[in-house]
Amino acid sequence: MNRRALLGTAAAATFSGAMPGLVRAQAPGIKVGFVATLSGAGAALGTQLRDGWLLAVKHLDGKLGGLPAETLVIDDELKPDVAVTKVRAALERDKVNVVAGLVYSNILQAVFRPVTESGTFLISANAGPSTFAGRGCNPLFFTTSYQNDQVHATMGQVAQDEGYKRVFVMVPNYQAGKDAAAGFKSRFKGEVVDEIYVPLTQLDFSTELAKIAAAKPDAIFTFMPGALGVNLVRQYRQAGLASTPFLSSFTVDESTLPAQGEAALGFYTAANWAPDFPNEVSRRFVRDFEAAYGYVPGTYAAQAYDAAMLVDDGVKQAGGRLADKAALRAAMEKPGFTSVRGNFRMGANHYPVQDFYLCKVAKRPDGKLATETVRKVLSEDTDPYAAECRMR
Amino acid sequence: MSLNLLLVQLLNGAQLGILLFLVAAGLTLVFGVMDFINLAHGVQYMLGAYVAATLGTLLGSFWLGLLLALPVSLLIGLLLEWVVFRHLYRRDHLAQVLATFGVILTVEDAVRAIWGSSPLAVPQPEGFAGGIEIMPGLTYPSFRLAIIAAGLLVALGLWLLVDRTRAGMLVRAGATNAPMVSALGVDIHKLFTLVFGIGAMLAGFAGALAGPVFAVAPGMGDGVLILAFVVIVIGGIGSIRGAFVAAILVGLIDTLGRAMLPDLLRLVMDASSARQTGAALASMLVYIVMAAILFLSPAGLFPVRRG
């Protein structure tokens, strides 16, 4: 481990208040390599992902499927080459049974072949690229999140349902930004007044905000992850544009709300889960998560929690025989656990078939900001690539 | 584009320019006077923002945080100078770049260790909540007007300091011929430390002012630093006046490019490719202009004469 990684781990440890590292257990157990971005710009998401997984293992008394579980936390540093090296070591030296986690699609793409070709199960708790949903689907690969397009398409459906005629679209100028705009337009049939592509390093949005004000749209749709979203939300509010509905994906969520503060109140986002879900599993998850880690969990944490539950349930159904991959796979294709999302099942391409919701930023009675469900938008939605998948 | 919108965009450009000037002023002083390339200037900007946000939250007032961030930035700057930079003045530029780049990595990871990786919550400036409606449906936040005023005041203050005071005269003399000034009995090292301290404080001030508008996050100084270098290269290294003119120029070019290029390109290509090429071109425009200016005037717009 180099110095940067060491510092990063130390940073993560100081912040979560808990040093997970290795959770040692008695052999024979189940070993999981949990890959998350814990240093660098994406560390807030990786921390959510890791904490969600660890809480699930805690809820399961340190076991997965009845076997003592050991979680090796791997920091991918948001560098594909680093991720591959560390994951190979986990596969060959530590002989992990499952690789899980994965915040970013480019990291998933890098470790995909090394993991699946070694015959190891790969469970994504967040990254959901189209690459592995269609023709590239794989019997050893599962995801508990979503296919990216679905989230953007949900917002497109919202704009359609609300009867908006003219929507202004603004996204960063890179592949994920273009996918977001395309996903939105796949369900929104009205007029897109203008589309602005901003550089990923954009600081000041006043130029774009002036254009929005001049165009007077019925709503705007945007996808501005991380610090970009913090800039935009603050400046959008300060520019007095908040009366124009702010429809977004991955822009206002539990990872950015602490910095956006009240500027984000009333802004909309699309998600497969929100911390105010009324079902008992979700309430217990949110309560215990906040008690253990001191912040509000977002979808990242919830999906990682479900990923652990998926593995737990799969191993249980397979009778604890980790070597019986066919049984394990069949079990995970028909998961029997209750998801924090309530309605949840695996599609033929191992991507979830689930509901998507319109959510809004609101202040909870305890003063913390969180997203709240407004209404269900898509029911039992299957991603658009699933039909192309021929699972061997 | 209507005339009104054009005026608004000009204002936006000028404002971005003034923010860039606040960062570039300190950089150009240090680079010009001490011939020292300080890549860690962006880190000092970031630290100013973090210190102001933290103290502001602690004390419940943005302005108190801003005020206290100034001496803290100065101290951080002097500490960095004493520990690292002082040993680099006699080395070549490559050694300076390597060492100050090392400072960036170290400080950014330290910031992550202390404050975490997520953007920080920043108290909003009291008394500057509202704004002025400059076109239908668009408010110009009054805090941004305060940033413009602060930038103009800093420009004026620096000009007075460098052009009208004895210390400023020594600084200019030191920039032209350091050994000669030293031979005349002036403690050149103390002078350099002073210049460096002012530069650090300006960077911290800019960061603290940027806090309520931009995300306070690790790495926030990197993008600004690159643009600040563009500004001082265009303006002429070491020239405060050059930095001011170049900063406004860069702000205007960047803003107007983003505002108009996609629409202009639509005249010659279809809408969707015009949008994407326009966006890509707009983000390159500043660098293209820099290359053109360097081609015509290699020492920048306001070259500083050296002995």
The pLDDT, as a whole number, for residue A289 is 96
User: Which distant-in-sequence residues (6+ apart) come within 8 Å of A21 by Cβ?
Assistant: A73
Nearest-Cα residue of chain B relative to residue A202: B223
The C-alpha of B7 sits at a distance from chain A's nearest C-alpha, in angstroms, of: 10
Choice between A25 and B213, residue whose per-residue pLDDT is larger: B213
The pLDDT, as a whole number, for residue A221 is 96
- With an 8 Å Cβ cutoff, are A210 and B12 in contact? yes
Segment A333-359 shows an average pLDDT of 93
Q: What is the mean pLDDT of chain A?
A: 89
Q: Give per-residue pLDDT as tens, B290-302.
A: 999 999 988 888 8
- Evaluate if residue A23 carries a pLDDT over 60: no
Question: What is the residue-wise DSSP string for A228-275?
Answer: HHHHHHHHHHHTT-TTS-EEESSSSSTTTHHHHGGGGTT-EEEES--T
- Please name the residues between 239 and 278 in chain A that touch chain B, using a CB distance below 8 Å: 239-241, 243-244, 255-256, 258-259, 261
Of A14, A43, A238, the CB nearest to B141: A238
The pLDDT, as a whole number, for residue A389 is 92
- Evaluate if residue A7 carries a pLDDT over 60: no
How many alpha carbons lie under 13 Å from residue B83 in its C-beta half-sphere?
10
Interface ipTM = 0.82
Interchain CB contacts (distance < 8 Å): A and B = 153
The pLDDT, as a whole number, for residue A11 is 45
Distance CA(A349)–CA(A331), nearest Å, equals 14
Verify cis geometry, omega within 30 degrees of 0, for the bond prior to A139. Answer: no
Of chain A, the percentage scoring pLDDT greater than 70 comes to 93
The C-alpha of A9 sits at a distance from chain B's nearest C-alpha, in angstroms, of: 9
- Evaluate if residue A21 carries a pLDDT over 60: no
B208, B51 contact by CB (below 8 A)? yes
Measured at the CA of A224, the angle between CA A277 and CA B141, to 5 degrees, comes to 105
Q: Which two tokens stand for residue B175?
A: 């920039």
Q: Where are the domains of chain B?
A: 11-218
- Evaluate if residue A17 carries a pLDDT over 60: no
The pLDDT, as a whole number, for residue B265 is 86
Domains parsed from chain A with CATH numbers: 3-146+278-346 (3.40.50.2300), 149-271+357-381 (3.40.50.2300)
- Please name the residues between 17 and 46 in chain A that touch chain B, using a CB distance below 8 Å: 39-44
How many alpha carbons lie under 13 Å from residue A305 in its C-beta half-sphere?
27
Of B5, B212, B275, the CB nearest to A214: B5
Instruction: Work out the pLDDT band at A13, boundaries 50, 70, 90.
Output: very low
The C-alpha of B122 sits at a distance from chain A's nearest C-alpha, in angstroms, of: 7
Residues in B touching A255 (Cβ below 8 Å): 118
- Evaluate if residue A1 carries a pLDDT over 70: no
- With an 8 Å Cβ cutoff, are B105 and A241 in contact? no
Nearest-Cα residue of chain B relative to residue A230: B215
The pLDDT, as a whole number, for residue A31 is 95
- Evaluate if residue A4 carries a pLDDT over 80: no
Phi-psi region of A149 (alpha: psi -120 to 50; beta: other; left: phi over 0): alpha
The pLDDT, as a whole number, for residue B306 is 56
Element of type H or E holding A374: strand A369-381
- With an 8 Å Cβ cutoff, are A196 and B262 in contact? yes
The pLDDT, as a whole number, for residue B239 is 83
Best A39, A230, A265 residue to mutate vs chain B (most B CBs within 10 Å): A230
Residues in B touching A43 (Cβ below 8 Å): 112, 116-118
- With an 8 Å Cβ cutoff, are B135 and A213 in contact? yes
- With an 8 Å Cβ cutoff, are B138 and A8 in contact? no
A157, A378 contact by CB (below 8 A)? yes
Q: Give per-residue pLDDT as tens, A233-292.
A: 999 998 889 999 999 999 999 989 988 989 999 999 999 999 999 999 999 999 999 999
Which residue ranges of chain B lie beneath pLDDT 70? 1, 305-307
3-state helix, strand, coil in chain B (%, to 5): 75, 5, 20
The pLDDT, as a whole number, for residue A59 is 96
The pLDDT, as a whole number, for residue A19 is 44
Segment A350-375 shows an average pLDDT of 94
SS3 annotation, A49-88: HHHHHHHHHHHCCCEECCEEEEEEEEECCCCHHHHHHHHH
Q: Which two tokens stand for residue A258?
A: 């602490």
The pLDDT, as a whole number, for residue B1 is 58
The pLDDT, as a whole number, for residue B243 is 92
Residues in A touching B9 (Cβ below 8 Å): 207, 210
Element of type H or E holding B284: helix B271-296
Q: Give per-residue pLDDT as tens, A67-96.
A: 999 999 999 988 899 999 999 999 999 999
A188 CB burial (10 A radius; 0-12, 13-18, 19+): buried
Best A16, A194, A204, A251 residue to mutate vs chain B (most B CBs within 10 Å): A204
Of B19, B138, B224, the CB nearest to A239: B138
Segment A368-372 shows an average pLDDT of 94
Q: Give per-residue pLDDT as tens, A289-335.
A: 999 999 999 999 999 999 999 999 999 999 999 989 999 999 999 99
CA A147 to chain CA centroid, Å, is 10
- With an 8 Å Cβ cutoff, are A197 and B279 in contact? yes
Distance CA(A281)–CA(A276), nearest Å, equals 11
Segment A173-189 shows an average pLDDT of 90
Give the position of tokens 């007077």: A216
3-state helix, strand, coil in chain A (%, to 5): 40, 20, 35
